[in-house]
Structure 1
Amino acid sequence: MSVNHMELLYAGMQTQLEHINGSLKASVQNLTSSLVCIASTLELLKAFIREHPFETPDAEIYFFKYTKPRFYCWYIYVVELHNILATVPVGTDQMLRDYYMDELGIINRCFKVYSFSYQYYLQDETIKDSEFFLRKNRIEFPIGQEHLTADPEFSTNQDYMFSKFRAYEMLRDFIIRRLRLLYQNPDNVFIAELLASKNRWWSGDKVELIEIAYGIYYTQRINGGKAEISHVIEWLEDSLNIDLSQAYRMFLDIRRRKTISYTKYLDEMREAIHQHIDETNSFKPKKKPQTNG
C-alpha cells in the first residue's frame, strides 16, 4: 500500500472540500458537492486496494483501522455538521449555549453507548485487531452498523465505528470552539478586555505557522499520532489568535517551492537555535582580578 498515494489522495480531497466550503470549521456551504467529493475519493480508495491487494493481514488491518476511517470520517462529519448548523436556534447567547451543550451531550452519549469500542480506539489497543479489521471475519450486522448496508469488499466489523469516533471528536471540537466563543464574548466590557489582554498573537507570516503545523503532524507527536492536521491547525489558531483557514492551500504552495527549501522557516528556527547555543558556549566571562586581602 503506497503511503504517498494515500497522502496525495487525502490532500486532494481536503483541497476540494476547502474550495467548496471555504472553511469546514465555520459551515458546510454546499452539502451535496461536499458529499460527492468525499464519496468519489472513497471510490478511488476502493479501486486502489482492489488493484493493489494487501500483501499481509497486518497491512489490511492498518488500512481499515487507520486509513479508511481517516477518509470516511469526513463523510459523517460533513452530514452531522450540516444538521447541527441547520437547526441552530435564533435567540439569546444562553439559548445558543443550551443548544450546543445538548449537541455535546449527544456526542458524549455515543461514546458511552459504544464505550468498549471507543476505549479500544482511544488506547490504540491491538488484541482484537484481526476480529475487528479483517474482512474475512466480518459478521452480517456489526455493532453500530445495524441500519447500514455495507460493501463487504470495503468494510470490516469496526472501521465504520472508528470513522464515527473520529468524526464525533471533530464535531466535539467544533462545538467546544463555538461555546468558547460564546463565553469569551461576555456583555461585561471589563471582563472582555481582561480576556483580550491574555491573548497571544503570531507576528510572523501565516505560511511559517503552516510549516510548524505540518511538521508536528507528520512527526505524529500529538495524541499518539492520532491528531489530524485540522486539529493541529485549530490548536495553533486558538493559541495564537490567527485564522489559518487557507492552510491546505498554503501547504500546496510550500510543495510547489522551486528555489527555496520546503521548510524555510523550520530551517531558520534550527539555525537560530544552533547560533544561540554556539554563542553561549563560546562566551567566556572575564575573570575578576584577584585582590590581595
Structure 2
Amino acid sequence: MDFKPFIDGLQNDLKEANLMISNPVKRANHAIRLSHTLLSLLRKSVVKDGFESIDKEIAFFKTIKTVPSAKLIYHSQIRSFELEFPKGNTNTQRKFIKKRLNRLNRFYHQHMDFGEYIESGRTHFDEKYFTRKYLNSFPIVSPHFYFHDPEFNTPKDMLLAEFMGFNSFLSYLQNRMIDQSKIAIGKPFDLNTQISLQWTATKSALTELIYALHYNKVINNGNTDIKEIALAMQQVFHFDLGDFYKIFSEIKSRKISRTKFLNDLASGLQSHMDNAEE
C-alpha cells in the first residue's frame, strides 16, 4: 500500500484544525483522534499485507508510522500541559514551564546515544531498530509504552516518535516561555496571547465580521486567506467559532437582513454619534 496519501492527509487535516480550532485543548483532542485513527488504519494494513522486503519494513517503521505516532505524542503533551497550566501569577507559570523543559532535557540525556544515531543519519543498526523480529532483543526504555504490539512495534520506532514529538513540544514550550517573559517585563506581545478580550455576541455575528473584513480587503490589502482572519479573530477574542463556512452558508440563506450584525453595528455607532451631538 502507498501510505504517503494517508500521511499527507493527516498533515493537511492538522493544519486545517490549527486554523479552525482556537482552543488548544480542543485542538489537541482533535489531533489525538486523527492520529489514533490513522495508526489503527496503518496497523490493519501491516497485519494484513506485511512487507515485501526488510528495506520496506524499515522505511515504514522509521518514516511512516512515526509521523502519526509523533503527532499523537506531541498533542498529548500539549493537552496535558494546557490542562495543568497554573492559573496563578507569571512566576508560577514560568516555573511550571521550566519543569516541563527539565523533563525533556532528562529524556534527551537518557537517550543521547540513540539521538546521536538518528541526528547523524546513520543506518547501520536500522534492521535491529526498525524491524519487528528484534522486538524482544531490547529492553523497554520508555515509561509511556509498557505494552509493545509484536505485529506493529519494533525496538525503537516509538522511541524515535518520542524524539520527534518532544522536539516539537520543546519548541512549543520555548515559545510559551518567551510569551511569559514578555508579559513579565511589560513588553508588547502577539495578539494570540492577550487575555482581556472575550467575544460575547453570536457565532453568526463574528462570521459576518470576518467575511466583511476579508471581502473588503482591509487586511493585508486582501492578500490574507479568510481562514487566517478567522483564526486570528478566534484567538484575539478567545472564542471557538467552529465551522464558519457552514455558518456563512446559513447567513446567505437568510430571507431578511443577511448582514444584520453589520447593520446593527452601523446603526449603534450612528445612534451614539447623534446622541453625543445633542
Which TM-score applies when normalising by structure 1?
0.58
The alpha carbon displacement at 1:17 in A equals 5.3
Provide the rounded CA distance (Å) in 2 between the counterparts of 1:79 and 1:101.
18
Q: Is residue 57 from structure 1 mapped to residue 54 from structure 2 by the alignment?
A: yes
The alpha carbon displacement at 1:118 in A equals 1.6
The alpha carbon displacement at 1:57 in A equals 1.0
The alpha carbon displacement at 1:29 in A equals 1.8
Provide Cα deviations, 1:50-104, integer angstroms capped at 9, x if missing partner: 3443222111111111211111112222222222112212222222112111110
Structure 1: give runs of 5+ residues left out of the alignment. 196-201, 211-248, 250-293
Q: Paired residue for 2:165, among 164, 167, 170?
A: 167
Whether the aligned pair in 1 keeps the contact of 2:29 and 2:75 (CA below 8 Å) is no
Provide the rounded CA distance (Å) in 1 between the counterparts of 2:142 and 2:183.
41
Q: Is residue 205 from structure 1 mapped to residue 202 from structure 2 by the alignment?
A: no
Alignment match, 1:10 = 10
Provide Cα deviations, 1:93-148, integer angstroms capped at 9, x if missing partner: 22211211111011111010111112222222211101100111211664424651
Q: Paired residue for 1:177, among 175, 178, 202?
A: 175
Q: Paired residue for 2:114, among 107, 117, 134?
A: 117
The alpha carbon displacement at 1:187 in A equals 3.8
The alpha carbon displacement at 1:33 in A equals 5.4
Provide the rounded CA distance (Å) in 1 between the counterparts of 2:146 and 2:95.
31
Whether the aligned pair in 1 keeps the contact of 2:7 and 2:67 (CA below 8 Å) is no
Q: Paired residue for 1:42, among 39, 42, 45?
A: 39
Alignment match, 1:89 = 86
Provide Cα deviations, 1:10-56, integer angstroms capped at 9, x if missing partner: 2465268558x815xx6222766554432221111112233443222
Q: Judging changes above 3 Å, is the alpha-carbon distance between structure 1 residues 45 and 182 closer, same or farther for their aligned structure 2 residues?
A: same
Select the structure with the greater relative contact order (CA < 8 A; seq sep ≥ 6). 2
Provide the rounded CA distance (Å) in 1 between the counterparts of 2:158 and 2:122.
17
Q: Paired residue for 1:132, among 129, 137, 140?
A: 129
165-174 or 47-56: which moved more?
47-56
Which TM-score applies when normalising by structure 2?
0.61
Alignment match, 1:107 = 104
Q: Judging changes above 3 Å, is the alpha-carbon distance between structure 1 residues 11 and 51 closer, same or farther for their aligned structure 2 residues?
A: farther
The alpha carbon displacement at 1:164 in A equals 0.7
Q: Paired residue for 2:68, among 68, 71, 74?
A: 71
Match for 1:41: what amino acid? L
Q: Judging changes above 3 Å, is the alpha-carbon distance between structure 1 residues 62 and 164 closer, same or farther for their aligned structure 2 residues?
A: same
Q: Aligned-residue CA RMSD in angstroms?
A: 3.6
3-state SS, counterpart of residue 165 of structure 2: helix
Provide the rounded CA distance (Å) in 1 between the counterparts of 2:167 and 2:94.
19
Alignment match, 1:288 = none
Match for 1:165: what amino acid? F
Provide the rounded CA distance (Å) in 2 between the counterparts of 1:13 and 1:72.
15
Match for 2:73: what amino acid? I
Provide the rounded CA distance (Å) in 1 between the counterparts of 2:46 and 2:221.
45
The alpha carbon displacement at 1:206 in A equals 4.1
3-state SS, counterpart of residue 138 of structure 1: helix
Q: Judging changes above 3 Å, is the alpha-carbon distance between structure 1 residues 56 and 150 closer, same or farther for their aligned structure 2 residues?
A: same
**What aligned pairs does 1:225-264 form with structure 2 within 5 A after superposition?**
none
